[in-house]
């Protein structure tokens, strides 16, 4: 008789929510939004479960400095409706970016999250700010480096590798002392 494999499903007490900071300056809106959506859903963690909130909190800074094509600045339109007859309002990307830069990122991320109660819960973990300052300094340990497509980046491993490589590079670049030959 064959043994049956069991799927691991994390319990609510086992899930740990960390805080990450993403700098949106000079990065395309879609790239930033897809990275944020993956982090919010928890897809970069081994404990990812599609129906649970396993993701981290995300703080996006410099939302007013996102990059896009010139055509999209004038041609992309955001629509809102009040629910009343004739209540449709349209606004261009450029004017929305100037008036409310955080809404540009929020709209892009919301389009990439599941619709329903899980998606609304995930959106509460997104904090977007137009400038580089934010009030979440106590929660955030360090800024997250941009993820490369198709690859999960583990910041702890990268930090350890960089620290291990730094002393050897410093020793090689040290000039030879007097009286010693190279």
Q: Where are the domains of the chain?
A: 19-147
| Contact of 24 with 61, CB cutoff 8 Å | yes
How much is the pTM? 0.73
Q: What is the CATH number of domain 19-147?
A: 3.90.1180.10
Radius of gyration of the chain (CA): 22
CA-nearest of 87, 104, 86 to 95 is 104
Contact present, 25 and 100 (Cβ < 8 Å): no
pLDDT tens-digit map of 127-179: 999 999 898 888 887 656 666 655 545 555 555 455 555 554 444 545 555 55
Q: What percent of the chain has pLDDT over 90?
A: 59
């Amino acid at each position: 008789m064959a043994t049956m494999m069991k799927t691991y499903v994390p319990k609510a007490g086992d899930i740990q929510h960390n805080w990450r900071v993403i700098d949106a300056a000079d990065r395309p809106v879609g790239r930033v939004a897809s990275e944020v959506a993956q982090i919010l859903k928890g897809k970069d963690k081994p404990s990812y479960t599609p129906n649970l909130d396993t993701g981290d909190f995300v703080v996006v800074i410099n939302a007013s400095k996102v990059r896009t094509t010139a055509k999209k600045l004038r041609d992309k339109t955001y629509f809102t409706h009040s629910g009343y007859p004739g209540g449709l309002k349209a606004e261009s990307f450029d004017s929305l970016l100037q008036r409310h830069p955080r809404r540009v990122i929020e709209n892009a991320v919301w389009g990439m999250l599941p619709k329903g109660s899980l998606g609304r819960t995930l959106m509460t973990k997104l904090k977007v700010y137009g400038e580089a300052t934010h009030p979440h300094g106590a929660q955030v340990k360090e800024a997250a480096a941009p993820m490369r497509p198709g690859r999960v980046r583990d910041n702890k491993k990268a930090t350890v590798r960089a620290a291990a490589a730094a002393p050897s590079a410093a020793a090689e670049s040290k000039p030879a002392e007097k009286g010693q030959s190279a």
